A and B are shown apart, each in its own frame.
Chain A
Amino acid sequence: MADLTLIEAVNLALARALEDDPDVVLIGQDIGVNGGVFRATGGLAARFGEERVRDTPLAETVIAASAVGMAVEGMKPVAEIQFAGFMYSCFDQLINHAGRLRTRTRGRLTCPMVLRTPVGGGIHAPEHHSESPEGWLAHIPGIKVVTPSTPAAAYGLLLAAIRDPDPVVFLEPTRLYRMLKEPVADDGAALPLGRAFVRREGADITLVSWGATLVEVGQAAQTLAERGVSAEVVDVATLRPLDSATLLASVSKTGRCLIVHEAPRLFGAGAEIAAQVASEALMSLVAPVGRLAGYDTVMPLARLEDDYLPSAARIVAAAEALMAYR
């Protein structure tokens, strides 16, 4: 079993999907010969042919729309949007078409497509390259929203997304692409969508997060442990449909909940989780539900980026504030 980075795991899953299913086709900008700007599709055009790993013109709307058309016609398109900040023109396709074709045709037509895009800050990229759009996406009925936090999760969740009968937006944390390696088996095994994963068990407080922020959450949990606080870390992984049961079970056990995400706090995905915890696990709570998120502002440019993102120190402080409730 090879040690892989997250981007290598994405590449491995795409190769596996192309190998297993002739209906799988990749489309996107610079994904062919160039292998994608992050090399997610590196080597795939040479191996599977340019008809299956197909460069598109520089036009995000028609990339998403073509994926819808291909999916309705029975293929399994995996479209890449180069950066999340460039996917906003695809929202028309996701909201008006991908998410509602099954409903509005009463199941006659379906849309088994995947839209992949790198998300989040932390690599000091140019403007519009560090967005966290998961909250907007998770508000769309009929869409699934998935974000992996480890190489193995990226492999298993991406395979699940490609095999899923409904449209999936797959958000790949840019910051994690080459940050860490772990063993990933190319066994073709998918991980379940709609399932949250307990990444660390604990008794005193539940830290809920997803994607790249789980790195800082993990560091914070370690610091908290050294200070005598046992934190449980839950990786949401699939924001829509949300695995409320796992989240509520954890909070019911610990009695405290801190939700950490990179996107702005106001009307973010953390608000929905906080509301569910408040209404479904109220009697278990010994502290108010906490949220630590990006500031409610525009994602800053590179120089202020690190100060915007939730840091391990700020997560520890927020957790300790909740621990003060007895």
Chain B
Amino acid sequence: MKTAAQFSVSYHQFLNAKGALAEPPPGLDLPALVPVYRTMAFTRAFDARAVALQRTGQLRTFPSSLGEEAATVGLASVMRPDDVLLPTYRETGAFLWRGVTPVEIFLYWAGDERGSAIAGPRGDFPISVPIASHCGHATGVAAAFQYRKEARVAVCVLGDGATSKGDFYEAVNLAGVWRLPAVFVVINNRWAISVPAARQTACATFAQKAIAGGVPGVQADGNDAVAVRHVVGQALERARSGEGPTVVELLSYRLTDHTTADDARRYRSADEVSAAWAEEPLVRLRALLAREGLWTKADEEALIADNQARLEAAVADYLATPPQPLTSMVDYLYAELPAELVAQRAELAAREGGHHG
């Protein structure tokens, strides 16, 4: 017997849960981690506020990203502005880093389409709720970049559960065959609602699912912002230089419910969650920055105050946003209003008059 082929999946961690930085990647830019930390902290504050708004009836169902801030902010922080992000729905940190406003994010989770009519980044895809169905959009976007010879990358973010769907395999396979400038980032937060990773796959890693598509798969500690930036940065560089796609698995943990409509106590133990808190991403990054003289107690206090002030203003703007006209239901269906919708539009306009006239 001979071995026909052999594969391996590398694992990357630099900043461990205790805040120790072992063998930093070459050329590590420590000051660049300060804005990363700031956005991670803002993301956590945003999440808490969004949950509070939902609990008081001022927001609809919301999926907190508590515990996943290093993954989401980290991956976005190494993208270029003109790369395209194709998210699922738990990447609030990435949205905030790329310039989506808190008001827009609130609006989306309030059930208002204007939350996806973001002012920037203009080419980013909106939140994609049907699991993994956006993976093939990334291959299409990447194919457009490749065809136009643009040095841009499509970055598709998905969860551990999404890797069970054929859409993911089809997209990774096509990206491999066409050598597309795409990066698939699997944020493995260990739980797809109530189903743990071990019942999602028999694979030892989610990264190895790339190998079947002829694509490299790498794994990193997704709570280590240094590792996230390193592995996603390398994948982006590979894609940008024409070497093709990568699947990156970021190991993290969903420290809270799937959404505000979920109760995670039904399916996992408090002990497990407590243990995961010891691995969370903010404390270790703050410890590193403090040790390097890049972050002080005063900085932290100022950041907390600043985040609260930004959120107060955003919540006020969000709550003051006037409703959309009823006619907006039909006005964006096609570039031109077809005859079949003219009467319905008129009816909506008349109802509008009745409501608000």
Contacts and interface: CB of A to CB of B under 8 A. Distances in A.
Interface string B106-139: 0000000110111000110110101001111111
Interface in B330-357: 332-335, 338-341
Contacts of B335: 102, 110, 164-166
Interface string A242-259: 111100000000000000
A107 B117 contact: yes
B143 interface: yes
Contacts of A141: 333
Contacts of B31: none
Contacts of A66: 136-137, 139-140, 143, 174
B308 to A, nearest CB: 30
Nearest to A71: B140
A285 interface: no
Interface in A135-175: 141-142, 144, 164-166
Nearest to B329: A103
Interface of B: 84, 86, 113-114, 116-118, 122-123, 125-126, 128, 130, 133-145, 147, 154, 166-167, 170-171, 173-174, 177-178, 328, 332-335, 338-341
B144 A70 contact: yes
A61 interface: yes
Interface residues of A, number: 48
Contacts of A166: 334-335
A152 to B, nearest CB: 24
Given A70-B143, A72-B140, A106-B332, A62 B170 contact: yes
Given A73-B140, A166-B335, A105 B166 contact: no
Given A66-B143, A69-B143, A109 B126 contact: yes
Contacts of B117: 105-108
A77 to B, nearest CB: 7
Contacts of B125: 72, 109
Interface stretch (A91-99, A121-129, A201-209, A318-326): A91-99
Contacts of B333: 102-103, 141-142
User: Which 9 pairs of residues, A with B, have the shortest CB-CB distance?
Assistant: A69-B140, A65-B136, A241-B338, A62-B170, A66-B140, A106-B117, A69-B137, A73-B144, A165-B335
Which of B84, B178, B341 is the most central at the interface, judged by chain A CB atoms within 10 Å of its CB?
B178
B140 A65 contact: yes
Nearest to A69: B140
Nearest to A105: B116
Nearest to A99: B333
15 contacts: A56-B174, A57-B177, A59-B174, A61-B170, A62-B171, A62-B173, A69-B136, A69-B154, A70-B140, A70-B141, A77-B140, A92-B130, A102-B334, A105-B116, A245-B339
Nearest to A92: B133
B145 A73 contact: yes
A15 interface: no
A299 interface: no
